[in-house]
Amino acid sequence: MVPREQVLVVAERLDPTADLVVHALTERKVPVFRFDLAEFPQSLLLSAEHGSVTPGWHGSVRNDRRAVQLKEVRAVYYRRPGLPVLSPHIAPDYRDWAVSQALVGMVQILTSLPVTWMHHPDVYRASAHKPGQLVTATKSGLRVPRSLVTNSLDHVRRWAGRLDAPMVCKPIAAASISVPGSPPSMLPTRPVSLPELDESINLTAHYFQECIPKAFEVRLTAVGSRMFPVAIHADSDKARADWRSDYDALTYEPITMPADVADGVQRFMSYYGLNYGAFDFAVTPDGRWVFFECNPAGQWQFIAKATNLPIAEAHASLLQGAFA
């Protein structure tokens, strides 16, 4: 039997987070084959066959430098690759169809392999949405903010009246806003008051939560069974509302986390089949941990840089098969 030693890294070429994982794997002398889906089908050749009785695809992925046999792959690290880029010879009427064929062809062959995955696209899609996460978090024993999703101005007014606490509005999905002449931007979490609300609420779904009093926030990077909790201390009003709004006002501090919260995080990850998650918590002045959300493919490079925590090494260990 051919040993499964290769790790496929499927990511954009200019991805510093993927660079750190590749470096950590290379330090361990783990062979890595890295490519971007944007290289397929013009610069990558996929050849895969399936027999009539025996389950499983066999074949190879190759470029002009090297080839990897599918039977040699032990793990796949899949992090926000680009979309397939087509030959200009494909007619405009067929381009969307051809992109879908390339995307499904490559990704579904890879996801069928019986190997370890980080950021499996099907797992990501199932676990990435905030409303479902709140249900899973509470089932897992984690505390969450009281929340409302609505497109009814009357309902949010009634809910805010019952809340007896300040509230915030945040995006329900990770989508950007494009304004002509400006780069795409994300809407941050922001405090809102009843007098601010108007009929525009009725135009689409809005996500409201009670405003949790914070001693500090926590970014918990979970890699398999290993957890790296880091306190985020904010020194500006913008950062206190949403620390992503003002990175220059942040300081970071590795901390320990309560055992019951760690157990809840593990139950959350098990429910979705995750082996990675970037979890956001608030810690209240009286020490309660409140779950906000989990990004199943969230950034961790800035945390590792600020704290020297061995997050890249944990990724390499998991992909190498050293732990689950």
What are the sequence ranges of the domains in the chain? 6-118, 146-210, 213-310
Q: What is the per-residue pLDDT across 24-63, written as a single tens digit (0 to 9) for each?
A: 999 999 999 999 999 999 999 999 999 999 999 999 999 9
Q: How far apart are CA 157 and CA 152, in angstroms?
A: 9
CATH class of 213-310: alpha beta
Q: What is the per-residue pLDDT across 3-19, written as a single tens digit (0 to 9) for each?
A: 678 999 999 999 999 99
CB 36 within 8 A of CB 104: no
Classify strands 57-62 and 67-69 as parallel, antiparallel or unpaired.
antiparallel
Angle at 140 between CA 138 and CA 141, to 5 degrees: 65
CATH code for the structural domain at 6-118:
3.40.50
Give residue 238's pLDDT: 87
Q: What is the per-residue pLDDT across 249-288, written as a single tens digit (0 to 9) for each?
A: 999 999 999 999 999 999 999 999 999 999 999 999 999 9
Give residue 1's pLDDT: 53
Q: How far apart are CA 246 and CA 235, in angstroms?
A: 9
For 319, half-sphere exposure in the C-beta direction (CA atoms, 13 angstrom radius) is 33
Give residue 324's pLDDT: 47
Give residue 244's pLDDT: 82
Angle at 112 between CA 107 and CA 116, to 5 degrees: 95
Classify strands 250-254 and 206-210 as parallel, antiparallel or unpaired.
unpaired
Sign of CA dihedral 276, 277, 278, 283: negative
C-alpha closest to that of 118 among 276, 291, 1: 276
Work out the number of other CB atoms within 10 angstroms of the CB of residue 49.
9
pTM, two decimals, is 0.92
Give residue 183's pLDDT: 74
Residues sharing a CB contact under 8 Å with residue 91, sequence separation 6 or more, in sequence order = none
Which residues does the chain have with pLDDT short of 70?
A: 1-3, 322-324
CB 35 within 8 A of CB 10: yes
